[in-house]
Structure 1
Amino acid sequence: MLVDNHNRKINYLRLAVTDRCNLRCNYCMPSEGIDFAQKNHLFTIEELCRLSEIMVEQGIDKIRITGGEPFVRKDLMVFLRKLSQLKGLEDISITTNATLIGPYIAELKSLGILNINVSLDAIDKDTFEKVTRRDQYDTVYNNLTRLIAEGFNVRINFIALEHQNIQDIIPILKLMRHYPVSVRFLEEMPFNGGSKAFTTITWDYKKILAHIQTEFPEITKLDSPKTSTSINYQIKGHKSTFGLIPSFSRTFCGSCNRLRISATGDVITCLYGKPRLNLRDIMRGENVEEGIVEHILKAIGSRSKTGFEEQEKYAGIFQSSMTSIGG
């Protein structure tokens, strides 16, 4: 079992398989993109499998596959097939922009990988294209409806962007009201690769909720696990639920059970800090398991209690892009 220096059990790993993405969302990176890692700096599939085995042996029972966009990696399904057979791993989930998942939906279902988070920041096509800077709306929408129809546990992640997509908050709730999905509204975070700078936000989770209540006054708050990052609700008469994720306000830090490992091997114990160390060279050396465990224990043994505490230690942390730190 992994326990950090604040007595928090760490059982959830967010594992990035690539830093590349086929969209250029304006809240994530500049339009020209960022300096992506060279291929030999990324974990190989074999290394990802071995790393996952070691982490599960240490008590990780949930792994979320992230990127970049995971399905940009053409050998992703090789990894997912092996991951689905890993004893002790109770939950495999994927965060995707749903542009490339279509050909793999049937196999994902057969593997039992049913928890899919779809990043979708607009339900209006024009707004979608302005945010993502790409013409992929029809593909995303079609794949989303397929996932829902096939019985996947779908959660839609919608980042509230002032002056960009706020007008889509109510429509997306109306559209999803007939389906058993969760629409989760996230506060904007400043990890945008330097595409803009900000120190505060207008659309925090409280304002998002107030906006929703202007249209849907009959809302019930739902019970959520202690480690949940979202505050969850259901609108009367809706099959869907919605959640609010205070990713900028960071109200959930006290119960954080997550560890991030980037596609290049950086161990990230908090989004608001620098990587603690890197595992890639250890994975390619001798005494791999011993070295990985030693370094993971060292990393979680010096975690900050909150994101605010971590942020104070580092200057320029917000110049990172979310695609390079694993979502």
Structure 2
Amino acid sequence: MPALIDPFQRRIDYLRVSVTDRCDLRCTYCLPKGFKGFEEPAHWLTHDEMTRLVGLFVSLGVSKVRLTGGEPLLRRGITTLASKLSALPRLKDLSLSSNGTQLARHASDLRAAGVHRLNISLDSLDASCFARITGRDCLGDVLDGLRAAKEAGFDPIKLNMVVQADVNVDEVERMVAFALQQGFVLRLIEPMPVGDTGRATQGVNLTQLGESLAERHGLIPQVLGQGAGPARYWRAPHGSMSLGVITPMSQHFCASCNRVRLGVDGTLYLCLGQNDRVELGRLMRAGASDADLIDAIQAGIAAKPERHEFNERPERVVRFMSQTGG
């Protein structure tokens, strides 16, 4: 099978695909209130265009695809798109990231469409804190979505909690207890300086916090294979819950990076913390053949940066997280 190998001998086998840059929340670290600079729908890739591009990546050795946003469940026909992608030969894993607000009515259809795993953003179990972070009082909708996802048979379900100093750091213990009770995987994430909102968010050193939480709850280090992702994990002895930390600021994981991102307009982003990109959507709509697009993909991977510079140059990335694709 062909493989995408970057200049630093990292095998790129994971593609994150943004199906929309729209979101029904305004999380303080992601999108500013009143933001209106969304991509024009006319520039969005159609389902068939997305399937074509993803199919080319799969033909080049990508085996894992995650649907992201914005909020992907706002994209009309998302389950139809998931069905098209899950039918691609050699695609081993199709997953989806969501804020959970629309999940209750989509969970069973997503499962039937071939989505294997879910990551759900949940920064607080306190309704007032949740509303302060997200701009909406809809914690109940997210919890309903989590119940529906469990009933639909999704396993594992990962909760992503962006930990902010003086905002929700005091709720981490409550979230750990919730994940233990429900059997969820909890991943604590350091906010990244992507866009003005990201730079204005004060994070917490999760390298230290993760280790202290693991010791306090008797969790055991969990060793995962190469390319398993950026999180470092511990698991409960009985195996029903895992705790992970994603630490782009206190301990970056760039040496094992195995992913690239495709924006809703077909822009290929080679690094979350750099501005390198390839305009695959524009090339495709200009009449590029599959061979032309494969050449462009391979050229992009050949130019993939070694690492982000979040600590050294936090001002570098001006686009907001939703514009990159999660």
Fold similarity call, TM over 0.5: yes
- Secondary structure of 2:133's partner? helix
C-alpha separation between the residues in 1 aligned to 2:184 and 2:270? 29
- Secondary structure of 1:94's partner? strand
Cα distance per residue 1:87-125 (max 9 Å; x no partner): 110000000001112222112222331300001111111
C-alpha separation between the residues in 2 aligned to 1:266 and 1:3? 19
CA RMSD of aligned residues (A): 2.1
Report the more deviating stretch, 235-244 or 44-53: 235-244
Partner of 2:213 in structure 1?
212
Partner of 2:323 in structure 1?
324
Cα distance per residue 1:132-155 (max 9 Å; x no partner): 001211110111122123321200
Contact 1:10 1:259 in 2 (8 A): yes
Contact 2:108 2:149 in 1 (8 A): no
Q: Structure 1 residue 324: deviation in Å?
A: 0.5
Partner of 1:301 in structure 2?
302
C-alpha separation between the residues in 2 aligned to 1:178 and 1:316? 40
- Secondary structure of 2:317's partner? helix
Question: Which runs of structure 2 are paired with 1:32-111 in the superposition (5 Å)?
Answer: 32-111=34-113
Gaps of 5+ in 2: none
Q: Structure 1 residue 252: deviation in Å?
A: 1.4
Q: Structure 1 residue 219: deviation in Å?
A: 2.4
C-alpha separation between the residues in 2 aligned to 1:238 and 1:58? 35
- Secondary structure of 2:220's partner? strand
> Are residues 1:174 and 2:177 paired?
yes
Q: Structure 1 residue 179: deviation in Å?
A: 2.9
C-alpha separation between the residues in 2 aligned to 1:229 and 1:196? 19
C-alpha separation between the residues in 2 aligned to 1:100 and 1:238? 29
C-alpha separation between the residues in 2 aligned to 1:55 and 1:4? 14
> Are residues 1:118 and 2:120 paired?
yes
C-alpha separation between the residues in 2 aligned to 1:269 and 1:163? 33
C-alpha separation between the residues in 1 aligned to 2:262 and 2:142? 27
Cα distance per residue 1:250-285 (max 9 Å; x no partner): 531111110111111221111111142211121113
Q: Structure 1 residue 316: deviation in Å?
A: 4.0
Partner of 2:12 in structure 1?
10
C-alpha separation between the residues in 2 aligned to 1:150 and 1:172? 22
- Secondary structure of 1:86's partner? coil
Contact 2:268 2:280 in 1 (8 A): yes
2:234 corresponds to which letter in structure 1?
Answer: Y
Contact 2:199 2:314 in 1 (8 A): no
- Secondary structure of 2:197's partner? coil
Q: TM-score scaled by structure 2?
A: 0.92
Question: Which runs of structure 2 are paired with 1:240-319 in the superposition (5 Å)?
Answer: 240-308=241-309, 316-319=315-318
Partner of 2:224 in structure 1?
224
Partner of 2:140 in structure 1?
138
Contact 1:16 1:65 in 2 (8 A): yes
Cα distance per residue 1:10-66 (max 9 Å; x no partner): 111011111110100001011112400101111111111111111111111110011
Partner of 1:188 in structure 2?
191
Q: TM-score scaled by structure 1?
A: 0.92
2:224 corresponds to which letter in structure 1?
Answer: S
C-alpha separation between the residues in 2 aligned to 1:156 and 1:196? 20
Contact 2:70 2:325 in 1 (8 A): yes
Number of equivalences: 322
1:184 corresponds to which letter in structure 2?
Answer: R
Partner of 2:159 in structure 1?
156
Contact 2:220 2:237 in 1 (8 A): yes
C-alpha separation between the residues in 1 aligned to 2:36 and 2:276? 18
